[in-house]
Amino acid sequence: MLNVLKTTFWQQHLKSKSTYSVCLKQYKKQKPQLLQSLKTVILPQNTHSPLKIAALVSGGVDSSVTLHLLKEQGYEPHIFYIRIGMKDEEGFLDCSSEEDIELTTWLAKYYGLKMDVVPLHTEYWDNVMAYALDAVRKGLTPNPDVMCNRLIKFGEFEKYWGKDFDKISTGHYANTVFEEGKTWLATAKDPIKDQTDFLAQITYPQVSKLLFPIGNLMKSEVRTIALKQNMPSAQRRDSQGICFLGKVNYVDFLRKYIGEKEGKIIELETGKILGKHKGYWFHTIGQRKGLNLGGGPWFVVKKDSEENTVFVSNGYDPESQYQKEIHLTNFHFISGNPWENTDETHEITFKIRHTPDFTKGTLIRNGENYLIQSTIPVSGVAAGQFGVVYDKDSRICFGSGVIE
């Protein structure tokens, strides 16, 4: 590259009919500028006004590799590790974060980057945990990971720390695209690891500020990079989303904060009482294990929160598990409604749980709410979960609504 710049220099000055000695003096005099030009060619995005990037790092392999990729592009991200946890009698039960912080500290030292540990325990409890407990009490199935992304990782963090940075980098498998004058949330290259369903409630200012360095990589490629860089997290198992309960058992958690109340387990088709349970909040739609009923398999297909009743159906694939219509309330469009001011039916794909599979359907506006009509019956439709809507090619994530 330097030879190319030298050649360009001589061509320009010899064309001006300067003598060789004059050209040589001018070259020596301008050599520092030529070297600076070389840096500009290699890192054009970072020479004159470098972006300030806050990198959210958990210690896992995905967020670790984002640091390597950002450094390769010439950035100097500031690492932030977010600490969250649950309340107990003495304060907060933290997630198993000691190892995570050690791994993140190693990365900061290895790459020569600044690092801060951010305590958001109170904010997590007041927002995410309060939402989750309220939903469970109402007989709904919450998704705390979705709300944690919107309210904590890109909400409270932005309010206190992220506001001082141009971009926020995260280890999610997702992408953004800029089309029609807007930034849109887009699916990742790896369909198995795609996490756009966990991001389907974020706001437009949030998606506009996010960077997803691994969005165009397969998981295997991410691990390969980590292995080549000898990262301690290279072979670490994937976490199950952001920390919700840490090492605390989910049933014990619900028992502690909601309690127990005996109720009936009833067969939906016959009305026959099959057994008892200790609270409808311990059971989710589609659940098969833990019912302690003979003659199974039995599946939870409905809950009545007012009567504290759990309804079940028998068989390996009961028809009562399935439905083709999914009603959504409080629908949130991330980058605005692409079908604004129209009541037409729109071809879409959608998800009702974290899965690599997209289901085809149509989206119909019904007043302030929306209805998904699936092309095939889908199982395990749980009230309180999010119905996530994508374009018909499963490329753009438009947003999500709460399943009624």
Catalytically annotated residues: 148, 243
Strands 182-186 vs 273-277: parallel, antiparallel or unpaired: unpaired
**Inter-axis angle of helices 2-15 and 20-42, to 10 degrees?**
140
Tell me if 272 sits within 8 A of 265, measured CB to CB. no
Task: Point out which residues pair with 389 in neighbouring strands.
Answer: 350, 399
Tell me if 56 sits within 8 A of 153, measured CB to CB. yes
CA 334 to CA 224: how far, in whole Å? 33
Task: Point out which residues pair with 361 in neighbouring strands.
Answer: 348, 374
**Using the 8-state DSSP alphabet, how is residue 80 labeled?**
E
CA 18 to CA 20: how far, in whole Å? 7
Structure tokens at 370: 């929306």
Structure tokens at 50: 């470098």
**Inter-axis angle of helices 219-228 and 61-72, to 10 degrees?**
70
Contacts of 320 (CB under 8 A, 6+ apart): 268, 269, 301, 302, 313
Contacts of 302 (CB under 8 A, 6+ apart): 268, 285, 310, 311, 320
Structure tokens at 160: 């206190």
Structure tokens at 181: 């004058």
Rounded alpha-carbon distances, angstroms, from residue 38 to 29, 34, 41, 44, 255? 16, 6, 5, 10, 64
**Exposure on the CB side of residue 326, measured as CA atoms within 13 A:** 37
What one-letter code names the amino acid at 226? A
Of the candidates 63, 91, 19, 363, which has an alpha carbon nearest to the alpha carbon of residue 211?
63
Rounded alpha-carbon distances, angstroms, from residue 167 to 10, 77, 234? 41, 10, 26
CA 161 to CA 96: how far, in whole Å? 23
Contacts of 344 (CB under 8 A, 6+ apart): none
